[in-house]
Structure 1
């Protein structure tokens, strides 16, 4: 087992080193005519960026002083996102290079003047002068070949154009994706019909928010934006479906304080996500309770029109606090509709077995950074949106925040308002 782990680590390091050398080569070595400060600066930027990435992750996991986590977090996590899109951009540039070179060759061919044809002129030879054979010009006297001179210059021009475009595309992508996160999640509205829902509950609104990920990067200001957005929807119930924080109550208690301002007619509820178990789940359960949210730890609330249940996240199993569907749902009245809060979509199979009508989940971030959505989709039954599993419906929100890089590409953040519809209405 240790040998396998070491091999995986070495393989990962080899891939990272190779990928970053390739990025450095295309962006710095191939765009310069020789060794110099540009290449050295590029090496420092690429290597230093990954030092910050490792430092940011290690500081967060090790519980380093919070000021240090914040200092390393912003540049480290942003470089993580930027390096992904720099690599993708320079790989895409490989398809452009030959096309651009061919275009330049054709342009140069049209511009080059046709060589004048040599017309022999007889020379008058004085009588008695020795006859001289015509001599070919010496190689050293021959003019330089236009092809040999232009080719290196053309390659350098192509490398600069493609490298510059790749850098601009990566910076633009990460910049826009980061702006989208910091601007705050948009409200998404989804209507979900439930067969057992009484007519009086038609139009009942549940504001679902997940994956806020308060931490060294997203702090109190971001929490306030999320709270204000939720309150603007005037929900009947608020469901916070896990991964609220990345850090301890000591460090992030002030950042989470705006949650006390959440307002809904029938209250705000909370279930743990996997990141709570990295951050001290028991302390956070007590903290959200102090802030006015009701934690559903494998528990159920009988609301006026349906049952609202919640189970702990799967990550709690390592601490003996895993999900317990029997405890949460075992003795309920099955004639009533039931909505379940469960952080991970993978918990849908247990929900089906226990006759849940609707499960609300997060966890996936919708993939967060394209093309990561393909990997995330393979690891979860539903990536985002509403799907049906037998008689149970599953809705997965993309989440409000972001883990690691405060950046989303192809997976915009959201707060979803689920509007329940009665089939009797």
Structure 2
């Protein structure tokens, strides 16, 4: 520890304490996590699940960076980049002033967390303990997912520990003791966090597992065999009888959220984990969800994933398909990171949902993510066109197909600097 000067203790958990410290050489601030368990050799340390996950997930801006690890006598010390405060501290600060975090700021936070989760899920891990305290925000508005001590490999064999996620953010499949839960538990937790940022309080605040499940039940409504068949099996297996509830209107529950935000939230907290939106889909969604933010709730209608906005016309459809295709391709280029664990995603239902099939009818409302094929109007007769007419027509087609002016890159809004302590 001679390299670091300890400043103060900032946290104390089950497995370790966190110290704010200064690097004596570079004068950079760092957070040192001192593990409570004693270790006698370095090989033991490198085999820890948290260390393995951190080493695997080092190259993403929304996952906290592990700078180094070392043994101080028998104490394992993990040295992280220092980040100013948590999302929990952010919204409590707003709550004390009688305010809530603005929606555009919430959008930025959720997008960045989803960005980190997408990378994590792609590389074979899911977090299992997402909560506002485990999401840090730097002064320049960058979100960092921390505390990977509960993270598990997606390919690891169940059963997993059921008492893992903090109760208020625990997915229903965990509450019902499902043995093989997976990455969708992170999405449910993220949905709970999103709602909490609008409400300045937890969405589901139960004092026990049973009460927690009933809180979810009374809000989302009682699920049916069609909505979540596995849930019905789990309920029967536990010998429970479901109370009958009608789903609440989220717009009445969270009146300060836009229609677009509520539709996204609905897709994140669905009963069936296989029907929840994925982190990768949330990454792609923001330009679609928030591009017309200035309009009223009545003017804006967010399509469900796989649905086409009603404003699309038959004439506009091919070009809009091409816009979506270009944006997806752009995301794929950004995420192109070869890894041997990527192969396992072929076996994960939630990350490899089948794409919607094409619909030829004008009334079709499905967004099509497949290859773009320009349609030829019935009155066009290519074979009878003169060469000059063909060139003119090709020029028009090229102009309409390869017009990139509509593409807009999404950049999370930066949050104002704060002087709050870590």
Please indicate, yes or no, whether the TM-score normalized by the shorter chain is above 0.5. Answer: no
* TM-score, length basis structure 1: 0.20
Q: Which has the higher contact order (CA 8 A, sep 6+)?
A: 1
Please tell me whether Structure 1 or Structure 2 has the larger radius of gyration of its CA atoms. Answer: 1
More helix by share: 1
